[in-house]
Amino acid sequence: MYCDNKSAIALCCNNVQHSRSKHIDIRYHFIKEQVENGVIELYFVNTEYQLADLFTKALGRDRIEFLTSKLGMRSFTPETLKKLMNEEDE
């Protein structure tokens, strides 16, 4: 799992309960348990390359275009969409 928050990664990878994190409800420790069990691994990714931001944040046009290209997504014009729909109906 890629994360752009080093503090969150540290909390999940550290077995010690700190006073600053004791307020976190036990039900939110799922990821930490999965890391401890070796089910998932956490990796830091610079926020510039965090692809999930495309689905979770309001972004500017340049940022959207950059992230969609990294995901291999592209935008269709209304005319292209109509052509594709007509091809599918045939």
Quick: pLDDT tens for 15-57.
666 666 666 766 667 888 888 899 999 999 888 888 999 999 9
Residues 26, 61, single domain; the answer is: no
**Domain housing 21:** 1-46
Single-letter amino acid code for the residue at 10: A
Question: Which pTM does this prediction carry?
Answer: 0.57
Residues 17, 37, single domain; the answer is: yes
Q: Cβ atoms within 10 A of the Cβ of 42, count?
A: 17
Q: Looking at the 3D structure of the chain, how many domains does it have?
A: 2
Dist CA 17 CA 20 (whole Å): 8
Dist CA 69 CA 49 (whole Å): 11
Residues 66, 42, single domain; the answer is: no
CA 6 to chain centre: 14
Q: Is the dihedral angle over the CA atoms 54, 49, 2, 20 positive or is it negative? A: negative
Residues 31, 13, single domain; the answer is: yes
Q: Cβ atoms within 10 A of the Cβ of 34, count?
A: 15
pLDDT in tens, 74-85: 878 899 888 888
Residue 72 has pLDDT above 80, yes or no: yes
Question: To the nearest whole number, what is the mean pLDDT of the chain?
Answer: 84
Residues 19, 57, single domain; the answer is: no
